[in-house]
Chain A
Amino acid sequence: MEESRADGRNPNQLRPFSCTRNPLDRAHGSARWAQGDTIVLAAVYGPKPGTRKGENPEKASIEVVWKPMTGQIGKQEKEYEMTLKRTLQSICLLTVHPNTTTSVILQVVGNDGSLLPCAINACCAALVFAGIPLKHLAVAIGCGVLEDGEVILDTNKAEEQQLKSFAHLVFPNSRKSASSKEPNQKEEDSERGLITSITHGVMSEEDYFSCIERGLAASSRISDFMRTTLQKQAPGDV
């Protein structure tokens, strides 16, 4: 019999998520992404003219500001900012608006575990709402490995205290294709690849690949949710 977790979920089950389009009026694009009680508000401003010192003026640059729920910005927040910046740089088309800066500001509203994946999902939704040109979307998922080697998805705060190790994984979203060829599902999965991987703790190779496999399967659900969110809130046809 499959053992259930403290909040009643099975190991592969994600917490319910929701996304609000453009809750902030002044931002050019914003999104409020919630996964269970983990809530992140992302705002995108830009593209604005000019690049900061040290950036390449032939490309657009991305600036990420992370605001924690309480306290001052510390080393952990700086690491989150750097991870987010590199992830967003890899999915944005930087050559479309050279010599501009796009600011992405994240405010943590609730933190109940798997904070970084939730923030990455919020950022992607906000960039789409702002109309920033993207190569593809990215979906993020948090995986945890328990002491007995079992892999669980979308960990919450209580579960994170008991993990042996965890991995935050970011995948490209599944894409819709107009091609008449019927792509093989397995071939399509391997083609998608992995954008970002952050691990903590000691993890065997088998556990890591198990995390990737389970995370990839779960990311399809987030992909579908993201696609549905982008579609249904579009302005109605006249």
Chain B
Amino acid sequence: MESRKPPPSALVDNHVVPGDVVLDLTEMTNQTIKLGAGLRQDCDTIQATSAGRLRLSKPNKYWVESSQKRYIPSVEDTVLGVVVDTKPDNFLVDIKGPNLAFLPVLAFEGGTRRNIPKFEIGTLIYARVVKANSIMNPELSCMDATGKAAEFGQLKDGYMFDTSTGLSRMLLSSPTCPVLEALGKKLSFEIAVGLNGRVWVNAPSPSNVIVVSNAIIKSESLSGIGQRSMVESLLERLS
């Protein structure tokens, strides 16, 4: 007999704070659940460890969606990092986490000992997290899983600013978030969003860079309709 699907937690899509009991395991029989960020198991209960909205990805994956300035590395995240030091084997990269990240000199497409890239201190890198463990420094790579450079590598020119991790996630969500959609209709610009709360913008003229950056920064506390009207008023001022 096929077992009945587990009933979702009553708190899904509600705000939870640390200590809230999200699931009671004594009521579940023979079911598998997956825990994401912001949750922990305490004996027979699953409790929240951070404040935010509880999410459920069917059938059984739970996580707490929260937003903060500090980034905790996670495997397969794409991040914007700043090179802070160069060692013979690694670049040390600041990704706004508890520890500096290692970017091996061979972690580039076609990288060999003969053509190690030359990065100055302060270079902005778009990279992928390949190892993340709380007791080790995270490791980055500028290749995707198939070994191609794809969109990774050094970002030149442009302007990089800090946001919260929640805003970064919103900018990367699909469908395209309203502020980027509205800006894209009128302006031509390049953008890179790191899940660690950094955004890089480049455009042909500096005034466009400033408008795009200000629009993104303002959009965090606005709803979708508010974002579109905010972009329109900014663009009116521009022309």
Give bound CA distance, A48 to B96, whole Å. 10
Asked whether B69 lies within 8 Å of A177 as measured between CB atoms, the reply is no
A96-B134, A173-B17, A234-B67 known; A128+B24 contact, CB < 8 A: no
A175-B21, A238-B224 known; A128+B11 contact, CB < 8 A: no
Q: Which of B69-111 contact A (CB under 8 A)?
A: 69-70, 72, 98-100
Give bound CA distance, A201 to B42, whole Å. 38
Asked whether A135 lies within 8 Å of B19 as measured between CB atoms, the reply is yes
Question: Which one of A78-86, A97-105, A106-114, A142-150 contacts B?
Answer: A97-105
Q: Whole-angstrom distance from the CB of B135 to the nearest CB of chain A?
A: 6
| Chain B residues, Cβ within 8 Å of A238 | 170, 173, 177-178, 223-224, 227
Query: Is the C-beta of B68 less than 8 angstroms from some C-beta in chain A?
Result: yes
Asked whether B100 lies within 8 Å of A99 as measured between CB atoms, the reply is no
Query: Is the C-beta of A131 less than 8 angstroms from some C-beta in chain B?
Result: yes
Query: Which of the listed residues B22, B134, B170, B178 has the most CB atoms from chain A within 10 Å of its own CB?
Result: B134
Identify the closest chain B residue to A93 (Cβ): B49
| Chain A residues, Cβ within 8 Å of B167 | 235
Picked from A46, A134, A135, A234, the residue with its CB within 8 Å of the CB of B52 is A234
Give bound CA distance, A231 to B11, whole Å. 14
| Chain A residues, Cβ within 8 Å of B27 | 179-180
Query: Is the C-beta of B9 less than 8 angstroms from some C-beta in chain A?
Result: yes
Asked whether A99 lies within 8 Å of B68 as measured between CB atoms, the reply is no
Contact with A along B1-32 (1 / 0, CB 8 A): 00000000111000111111111100100000
Asked whether A234 lies within 8 Å of B15 as measured between CB atoms, the reply is yes
Q: Whole-angstrom distance from the CB of A89 to the nearest CB of chain B?
A: 15
Asked whether A234 lies within 8 Å of B17 as measured between CB atoms, the reply is no
A-B contacts at CB below 8 angstroms, number: 119
Asked whether A176 lies within 8 Å of B69 as measured between CB atoms, the reply is no
Q: A93-B40, A236-B221 are in contact. List 13 more A-B contacts (CB 8 A).
A: A29-B69, A47-B70, A96-B134, A129-B68, A130-B70, A135-B47, A136-B47, A175-B47, A177-B21, A178-B9, A180-B24, A231-B15, A235-B166
| Chain B residues, Cβ within 8 Å of A177 | 20-21, 24
Query: Is the C-beta of B116 less than 8 angstroms from some C-beta in chain A?
Result: no
A-B contact pairs, 18 of them (CB 8 A): A28-B68, A29-B69, A93-B40, A96-B134, A98-B134, A100-B99, A128-B18, A128-B50, A133-B50, A134-B18, A135-B19, A173-B17, A176-B21, A179-B27, A235-B167, A235-B220, A238-B173, A238-B177
Query: Is the C-beta of B41 less than 8 angstroms from some C-beta in chain A?
Result: no
Query: Is the C-beta of B230 less than 8 angstroms from some C-beta in chain A?
Result: no
Asked whether A226 lies within 8 Å of B17 as measured between CB atoms, the reply is yes
Identify the closest chain A residue to B71 (Cβ): A131
Give bound CA distance, A179 to B45, whole Å. 9
| Chain B residues, Cβ within 8 Å of A100 | 98-99
Give bound CA distance, A99 to B133, whole Å. 12
Q: Is the interface of A mostly helix, strand, loop or mixed?
A: loop
Query: Which of the listed residues A96, A134, A238 has the most CB atoms from chain B within 10 Å of its own CB?
Result: A238
Q: Whole-angstrom distance from the CB of A105 to the nearest CB of chain B?
A: 15
Query: Is the C-beta of A227 less than 8 angstroms from some C-beta in chain B?
Result: yes
Asked whether A136 lies within 8 Å of B19 as measured between CB atoms, the reply is yes
Query: Is the C-beta of B150 less than 8 angstroms from some C-beta in chain A?
Result: no
| Chain B residues, Cβ within 8 Å of A235 | 67, 164, 166-167, 170, 220-221
Q: Whole-angstrom distance from the CB of B32 to the nearest CB of chain A?
A: 18
Q: Whole-angstrom distance from the CB of A142 to the nearest CB of chain B?
A: 22
Q: Which of B167-205 contact A (CB under 8 A)?
A: 167, 170, 173, 177-178
Identify the closest chain B residue to A230 (Cβ): B51
Give bound CA distance, A130 to B71, whole Å. 10
Give bound CA distance, A98 to B135, whole Å. 6
